[in-house]
Amino acid sequence: MVDAPAPDAAPEPVQALTPANQNPWYVLATLHGEQPDRATPWAFDEQVHAKNRLTWNRWAAGTLRRDQLEAARAQRAGLHQEITVDEELTPFSIHDMAGLEDLWRSEWKRRNPFSTPIEIPDSCDTISLERVIFERLAVFSGFMFSADAWFQEAKFVSDSLFDDAVFFGEAAFENAIFSGSVRLNQACFLQNARFNGIVVSGHTSFSASNFYDEAKFHGSKFLGGMTFSSSILFKSASFAGSVFDRSVNFVNVRFSNEV
C-alpha cells in the first residue's frame, strides 16, 4: 500500500503593513506635523521638518554618550541648517521632557483616538519602523538614530529623504520597497548598514556618505539609477546579486578595505 502524499502546508498569513500614524516612532518623528500630501523632495514644508528634527534629535541626545555627541557635532559642522548644532545636541531637561511627553500623548490620541494610550518611545530602544507604510513624503534628513533603526519590509509610497542622517546603531532596511526616489546623501552609518533585497523604483543616491562598518546590498533592485559618488566605505561592501537597470555612478568612491 502506497501512502498518500502529505498535504501541502498552508501558507503563512501575510502580515499587513502598519499605517505610519499607528507607529509610535513615526508619530514622534512628525510630532509637529506631517508633510503635505503633494510634497516632493524639492518642495516640502521645511519649517515643520526643522521643528520635527530638533525635537527628535534632542530626544535622541538624551541617550548618547559624550563621544557619540562629539561625532555628531563633527558630522554637522559643515552642514547648512536652520538649527544650531549646540541647540540640536542638547538633551531635554527633566522639565522639558515632561512637556514633550504631554505633547506626545496629545498627538498620539489625536491620530489614534480609539487606541490604547502608550508611552513615548525610549531613546535607548530599537527604533522599530519595520513593516510600516509611509504614504507621504518621508523626511528623516538630519535625524540622529540613537539606537538600531529597523525599516525592514517598510513601504515608502512617495519619495524618502535621509540626507545627513546619522545611524549610531545598525541601519536595517532589508526588503523595503521604495516606490519613489530615496536620498541618503552625506549620511553616516557607524555600524552595519543592511539594504539587502530592497527595491527602488526611482533614483537612489548615497553621495558623500560614510560607511564605518559593513555595507550590504545583496539581491537589491535599483530600477531608476544609482549614485554612490564620493562615498567612503571603511570596511567591506557587497552588491552580490543586485540589479541596476539604469546608470550607476561610483565616481570618487573610496573603498578602504574590500568589495
Q: How far is 167 from 28, CA to CA, in rounded Å?
A: 17
Domain contains 59: yes
Instruction: Kindly state the cell numbers that stand for 83.
Output: 538649527
Q: What is the pLDDT along the chain (259 residues), one digit of tens a residue?
A: 445 555 555 555 557 999 999 999 999 999 999 999 999 999 999 999 999 999 999 999 999 888 888 888 877 776 655 556 778 889 999 999 999 999 999 999 999 999 988 999 999 999 999 999 999 999 999 999 999 999 999 999 999 999 999 999 999 999 999 999 999 999 999 999 999 999 999 999 999 999 999 999 999 999 999 999 999 898 888 999 999 998 999 999 988 765 5
Q: How far is 81 from 142, CA to CA, in rounded Å?
A: 9
Specify whether the CB–CB gap between 171 and 198 falls below 8 A.
no
Domain contains 240: yes
Domain contains 7: no
Q: Which one-letter amino acid corresponds to residue 116?
A: T
- C-alpha triplet 62, 67, 68: angle, nearest 5°: 55
Domain contains 242: yes
Domain contains 75: yes
Domain contains 104: yes
Structural domain harbouring 158:
21-255
Domain contains 251: yes
